[in-house]
Amino acid sequence: MAKQSGPSNIAVIGMEWGDEGKGKIIDFLAEKADVVARFNGGNNAGHTIEVGDKKIVLHLVPSGVMHKDKLNVVGNGLVIDSKVLLQEIKFLEKNGIKISPENLVISENAHVILPHHIEEDKKIGGAIGTTSRGIGPAYSDKAARIGLKVYEVVDENIFRKRVGSEEFYQEYKGYADALKPYVNDTSTIINYAIEKSKKILFEGAQGTLLDIDHGTYPFVTSSNTTAGGVCTGLGISPKKVQSVMGVCKAYKTRVGMGPFPTEITGAIGEKIQKIGKEFGATTGRQRRVGWFDSLVGKYAVMINGIDSIALTKLDVFTTIDKLKICVAYKHKGNILKNFTTNIKVLQDCQPVYEEMDGWWDDLTKIKNYEQLPNNAKKYLRRIEELLKVPISIISVGPKREQTIVARNEFLI
Ligand code: IMP
């Protein structure tokens, strides 16, 4: 297929409650990219990438790292646990992935997660089922203007003044010294890369419904996971983001608490959970499983301005006889056509489904759209119709090569 000229940068955004497969999609797209830049969250994220016989789960380092010669940027919108970041760098190096300031830069303006944030999260996070990584408390300190920024930690004089305990200072000074070479003014770096027409992927963590403003509050994370977060989390103008790709699963999943109208309980749910290996990459928790919810999809398209969709895990549906797509909610006798983040309403919504026939063919070796079984194509077309957005990528397995490009004009 001849490549039409596509955008030079793409924001890759989760359309649901995270775990949509963004890591795999970014890794796939990164081959053509110069820069991969994370803009939100922290080590609550777990981006799984499988290349050859290696399976790598990344929590903080952007997903471009599996390719040589890409610049990976950790933006100011993140909260960073320096101990975890250093462990991740060590783990990558053990796996033959060389990390240096040439391929990894960390924003001096990102905030840091400290041990007391983790302790606090363990105490108060239970009510919504957080990842207990200190994310919420670190962002709370940022908003309260008492947080500690990366540049303050790596500056010995400032850091010594900001912390009371000598023992703590010694431990964190060790981390700070190790991270110092990576710390930089990442906004200037990204804006320069944009000016030079470099190919850039803006990597989102979590998903639209976990956004602090646009998600199902309070069952959300503490950052802006949606496309708007690209600008604030990296320091670039909205005018510079050329294209937005939404990543969604063929079915839905959710970890942690909160309403989930299309949740499937019983044998089919367990089957999808098992075939799809739906266990959290960060906490190992079982993910709740649900049918495709087109109200959630349309909402994510609206909030993020999604141009095309990367749909993952279509292979998991093989052998599921009847597939359901939610096309409306029933709420106290009324029919709702649009998603709502009002959880009081959402928790009383019953899904209205359309049913479609499934397929029995193994999809995991299929290389192009035409080879997909007819019922799979019908399923994809129905999603495109309902969301009014084309599907550009279809993922049929965890490996890089198990990726079908349906429309390459949306790729960089
Ligand atoms: P926190 O981000 O640790 O504060 O957790 C808040 C909510 O977001 C919880 O329901 C978590 O399970 C969920 N969450 C945070 N990060 C991820 C992710 O990367 N994937 C899926 N769920 C996540």
Q: What three-state secondary structure class fits 267?
A: helix
The active-site residue out of 19, 27, 34, 141 is 19
Report the alpha-carbon distance of residue 2 to residue 250 in Å, rounded. Answer: 27
Cβ-contact 343, 331 below 8 angstroms: no
CA atoms of 166 and 161, how far apart (whole Å): 11
Query: What pLDDT is stored for residue 253 in this prediction?
Result: 96
Nearest CA to ligand 1 atom 5: 130
Q: Whose CA is nearest to atom 11 of ligand 1?
A: 130
Phi, psi (deg, nearest 5) at residue 320: -90, 115
Domains of the chain and CATH, by start: 9-244 (3.40.440.10), 249-410 (3.90.170.10)
22, 255, 260, 282, best to mutate for ligand 1 pocket (most atoms within 8 Å of CB): 255
Number of H helices, E strands in the chain: 13, 20
In this structure, are residues 83 and 96 in contact, taking their beta carbons and an 8 Å threshold? no
Catalytic pick among 34, 47, 117, 307 = 47
Burial class (CB in 10 A: 0-12, 13-18, 19+), 358: middle
Q: Please identify every stretch of the chain with a pLDDT value under 50, giving residue numbers as ranges.
A: none
Question: Quick one: pLDDT at residue 52?
Answer: 86
Tokens representing 158? 């400032």
Say how far apart CA 207 and CA 221 lie, in whole Å: 9
Q: How many Å lie between the centroid of ligand 1 and the Cα of residue 186?
A: 25
Q: Indicate which atom in ligand 1 lies nearest the CA of residue 283.
A: 12
**CA nearest to 139, candidates 231, 221, 255, 215:** 221
DSSP class of 4: P
Q: Are 252 and 262 spatial neighbours (Cβ–Cβ below 8 Å)?
A: yes
Ligand 1 center–CA 74 separation, angstroms: 19
Contacts of 343 (CB under 8 A, 6+ apart): 216, 217, 219, 258, 259
| pLDDT value for 4 | 57
**pLDDT score at 3:** 55
Residue 3 · residue 377 · CB < 8 Å: no
User: H helices within 134-182, ranges in order?
Assistant: 135-143, 150-154, 156-162, 166-179
Q: Which token pair is 253?
A: 């999943």
Burial letters 183-213, b for 16+ CB under 10 A, else e: bbebbebbbebbeeebbbbbbbbbbbbbbbe
Cα separation, 218 vs 215, in Å, equals: 8
The sign of the torsion formed by the CA atoms of 326, 329, 330, 335 equals negative
Distance 277 CA to ligand 1 centre (A): 18
Which atom of ligand 1 is the closest one to the Cα of 210? 8
- In testing the pocket of ligand 1, which one of 22, 113, 130, 249 has its CB within 8 Å of the most ligand atoms? 130
According to DSSP, the β-strands at 391-395 and 308-312 are parallel
Parallel, antiparallel, or unpaired: how do β-strands 200-207 and 9-14 relate?
parallel
Token pair 């952007």: residue: 62
Report the side by side order of strands in the sheet with 403-405: 183-184, 104-107, 71-74, 35-38, 200-207, 9-14, 243-249, 308-312, 391-395, 403-405
348 is catalytic: no
Cα of 8 from ligand 1 centre, angstroms: 30
Ligand 1 — pocket residues by CB below 6 A? 17-19, 44-46, 128-131, 133, 135-136, 205-206, 210, 219, 221-222, 255-256
Each residue of 105-130: pLDDT tens digit? 999 999 999 999 999 999 988 888 99
How far does the centroid of ligand 1 lie from the alpha carbon of residue 127, in Å?
13
Tokens of 412: 């960089």
Test site for ligand 1: of 19, 206, 253, most ligand atoms within 8 A of the Cβ = 206
Reading the block at residue 76, the tokens are 């100011």
Active site residue 121: no
- Tell me how far the alpha carbon of residue 44 lies from the centroid of ligand 1, in angstroms: 6
Amino acid in the structure at residue 207: G
What's the pLDDT at 232? 98
Residue nearest to atom 10 of ligand 1 (CA): 256
Distance, CA of 65 to CA of 103 (rounded, Å): 8
